[in-house]
């Protein structure tokens, strides 16, 4: 076994220069040639807004300064979200959008690993959660050929050592694309769209819910409510990118 792996590693080292010459690594954001696989060029990297502390303990919206442990924004205090926290790698912008669209519609499935690599730092501490991707309806899955959230979840599971449950949460109602809908319309569109699979038990577990892009939060909220009803004790949303409220956008 070890000999076989050593041979593969040696072949990879020998062939790598030729492969890089024929197919040089390119920036996932703009396609410019870069020094390593999945590396961003300086221009794209400079245009990406990474998210993290200090932020609202629940929704993850950035705070201008540290507000103390567990501090929540006014919107979350007034109308708490149905999940315990929401985090994203990036604020939704040109580069984040390009990567998400190339994965979702351009069939660049290798980008799922890139996204998962950046997500690892947001995996919550404490009792290990089970990773659950936001599901696609079977007709959309058959049409696209893959669920981008499930691909990201699989890579995140391998990188973090967490278990992944692809089949517990199901999308039982096909919905229209939510783009262009206002928050109320989005919430109505996804109402009743998700359910737990028969005989599937996540009672008492913690769940890390994975999606590619967080906009209004209607889809994630619908998933969280179903998971809560099934007895999940802690639901945390983790995404590649999230839309920012107007006051947080330059």
How does pLDDT run across 195-235, given as a tens digit for each residue? 999 888 899 999 999 999 998 888 999 999 999 999 999 99
Report residue 250 as tokens: 């330059």
Query: Nearest-CA neighbor of 134 among 75, 73, 83?
Result: 83
Rounded to whole angstroms, the Cα distance separating 164 from 22 reads: 36
CA-nearest of 46, 49, 158 to 112 is 158
pLDDT of 40 reads 94
Specify the pLDDT at position 250: 33
Which pLDDT score is estimated for 10?
Answer: 54
pLDDT of residue 19: 45
Same-domain status, 101 and 210: yes
Q: How much is the pTM? A: 0.86
Question: Same structural domain for residues 188 and 208?
Answer: yes
Give me the helices (H) in 88-234, please.
Answer: 94-104, 111-119, 138-144, 148-160, 183-190, 218-229
Residue 210's H or E segment, with its range, is strand 206-214
**How many C-beta atoms surround the C-beta of residue 32 within 10 A?**
14
Q: 101 and 208 share a domain?
A: yes
Residues 223 and 133: their CA atoms lie apart, in Å, by 10
161: CATH:
3.40.50.2020
CB 222 within 8 A of CB 191: yes
The pLDDT of residue 247 is: 43
* Domains in the chain, number: 2
User: What pLDDT, in 10s, does the model give residues 168-179?
Assistant: 999 998 887 777
Whether 69 and 53 share a structural domain = yes
- Token pair 């991707």 in the structure block, residue: 133
Q: How far apart are the first and last CA of the chain?
A: 54
Question: Is the same domain home to 208 and 235?
Answer: yes
Take residue 133 and report the two structure tokens written for it.
Answer: 């991707």
pLDDT of residue 249: 37
Note whether 241 and 210 are same-domain residues: yes
| Residues 79 and 38 occupy one common structural domain | no
Q: Which residue has the tokens 């009792």?
A: 127
Based on the domain organization, do 105 and 38 belong to the same domain?
no
Q: Are 159 and 238 in contact (CB under 8 A)?
A: no
- Label the pairing between strands 169-171 and 194-196: antiparallel
Q: Which residue positions in the chain have pLDDT lower than 70?
A: 1-22, 246-250
C-beta separation of 114 from 99 below 8 A: yes
Domain of residue 242 covers 47-248
Same domain for 37 and 63: no
For residues 37 and 59, membership in a common domain is answered with no
Looking at residue 157, its pLDDT comes to 97
Pair (35, 60) in one structural domain: no
Q: Of the candidates 206, 94, 121, 108, which has an alpha carbon nearest to the alpha carbon of residue 151?
A: 108
Give yes or no for a contact between 109 and 82, defined as CB atoms under 8 angstroms apart: no
Per-residue model confidence (pLDDT) at position 9: 54
In this structure, the answer to whether residues 24 and 122 fall within a common structural domain is no
């Amino acid at each position: 076994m070890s000999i076989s792996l050593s041979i593969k590693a040696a072949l990879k080292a020998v062939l790598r220069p030729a492969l890089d010459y024929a197919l040089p690594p390119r920036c996932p954001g703009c396609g410019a040639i870069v020094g390593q696989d999945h590396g961003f060029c300086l221009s794209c990297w400079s245009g990406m807004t990474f998210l993290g502390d200090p932020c609202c303990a629940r929704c993850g919206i950035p705070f201008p300064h540290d507000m103390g442990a567990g501090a929540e924004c006014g919107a979350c205090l007034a109308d708490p979200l149905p999940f315990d926290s929401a985090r994203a790698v990036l604020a939704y912008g040109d580069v984040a959008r390009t990567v998400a669209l190339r994965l979702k519609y351009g069939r660049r499935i290798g980008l799922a690993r890139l996204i998962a690599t950046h997500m690892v730092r947001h995996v919550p501490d404490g009792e290990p959660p089970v990773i659950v991707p936001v599901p696609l309806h079977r007709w959309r899955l058959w049409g696209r050929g893959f669920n981008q959230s499930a691909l990201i979840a699989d890579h995140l599971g391998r990188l973090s050592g967490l278990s992944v449950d692809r089949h517990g949460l199901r999308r039982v109602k096909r919905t229209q694309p939510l783009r262009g809908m206002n928050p109320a319309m989005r919430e109505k569109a996804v109402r009743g769209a998700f359910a737990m699979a028969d005989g599937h038990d996540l009672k008492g577990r913690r769940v890390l819910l994975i999606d590619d892009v967080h906009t209004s939060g209607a889809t994630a909220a619908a998933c969280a409510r179903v998971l809560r009803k099934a007895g999940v004790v802690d639901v945390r949303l983790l995404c590649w990118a999230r839309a920012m409220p107007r006051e947080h956008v330059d």
